[in-house]
Amino acid sequence: MNTKTRLYISAFTLGLVSMIGQIMILREFIVVFYGNELSLGIILATWLFWVAFGSAVLGRITDRLGSKQKLLSYAQILLSFILPFNILLIRNIKPFLGISPGEIVGFAPMFASSFLSLSLVCSLLGFTFTLISKLAAERSAIPSKAITLIYLLEGLGASIGGLFYSFFLVKSFSPVQNALITGSFSMLASALFSKNLFHLIYLVSIFTAFIFNWPGFVDTLSRKIQYSPFKMIESSDSIYGNIAVTKTGKEFSFYENGMLLFTSGDLATSEESVHYAMLEHPAPKKILLIGGGVSGSVEQILKHRVETIDYVEFDPLIISLAG
């Protein structure tokens, strides 16, 4: 395989890894910051800043270093480790800052934690893209055409990565498992430029870890730490986000993307949410309940002489976990 082909594969892989990594990291941040417009703006702005830093600032030093191909291989290896590390780092933001589950994070800690936790992975992504582009330009009679193709392949990889994650990975594996799978793509791309025993050891280790479900154990443990001091009994991800269930005494609390949805056995809240609305109608017969059914709202509605209740949830996973 010639160098150009390896660079093209690396560009495609970088796009795939970058997009899947961005989706996973955004989903983890949403659980911590609840996904309001302010938090999403801060996260995306920080992401762009560090990618630009890696591309513009770190990219300038590549000409002063040794073999660019080996440097690219090392960057891809580092990226394969940083992705799962970043997932675990983000999950520990609240425990580290002493912020309880369900508590709103202020602007200053939100900005500082986003800025620091994204610095390494985003800088490395920007640096790697610049490095691939320079290597491709050096091996082409028309550098601009070579860089254009790198952009195209990186974008194609990002598109396929987004589809691959949304329609397969998120439904099949936990976030930590997905981070390791995505990192393995980067590790395989690294092997195109510098094959050694380390690559084999890494891939065999990942394969062994999946056989014994060690990533699943780490994922569960990190979620439990994230929701401490509450006892987390379940945490699952769907295409819509994360649903976590904690238990305190005989009560179960459901969290959607870190935000408390409801607590079972909260009779006062379920009564208030149902009866005020039901009494606005002289004889309610057909009821559409959007969300909250498993919190006790259905039982309260049935105290009225209704004919039918249609109950839907934005995320069906809530009904599955409640069952």
Strand order across the beta sheet in which 241-248 lies: 231-238, 241-248, 251-256, 259-263
- Sole residue written with tokens 């500082």: 112
Same domain as 239, residue 205: no
Same domain, 196 and 153: yes
Residues 167 and 217 in one domain: yes
CA dihedral of residues 110, 225, 174, 54 (deg, nearest 10): 40
Kindly state whether residues 209 and 151 are assigned to the same domain: yes
pLDDT band for position 20 (cuts 50, 70, 90): very high
At 192, give phi and psi (nearest 5°).
Answer: -65, -25
**Domain of 28?**
3-225
Are 55 and 203 contained in the same domain?
yes
Does residue 216 sit in the same domain as residue 238? no
The answer to whether residues 85 and 214 belong to one domain is yes
3-state class (DSSP) for residue 233: strand
* Among 205, 225, 245, residue at a domain's last position: 225
**Domain co-membership, 316 together with 195:** no
User: Are 115 and 155 in a shared domain?
Assistant: yes
What is the number of structural domains in the chain? 2
Q: What is the band of 126 on the pLDDT scale with cuts at 50, 70, 90?
A: very high
Exposed / middle / buried, residue 270 (Cβ in 10 Å: 0-12, 13-18, 19+): buried
Q: What are the helix and strand counts (H, E) for the chain?
A: 14, 6
> Which pTM does this prediction carry?
0.89
At 36, which CATH number?
A: 1.20.1250.20
Give which of 8, 43, 46, 50 is closest to 26, Cα–Cα: 43
Distance in angstroms (rounded) separating the CA atoms of residues 109 and 126: 25
Strands 231-238, 259-263: pairing is: unpaired
pLDDT per position as a tens digit, 257-313 = 988 888 887 788 888 889 988 998 988 999 999 887 788 888 889 999 899 999 998
The domain boundary residue, chosen from 187, 204, 225: 225
In tens, the pLDDT along 190-219 reads 998 887 788 889 989 999 999 999 999 999
Do 239 and 214 fall within a single domain? Answer: no
Residue that is last in its domain, among 185, 206, 225: 225
Are 318 and 176 members of one domain?
A: no
The reply to whether 114 and 146 lie within a common domain is: yes
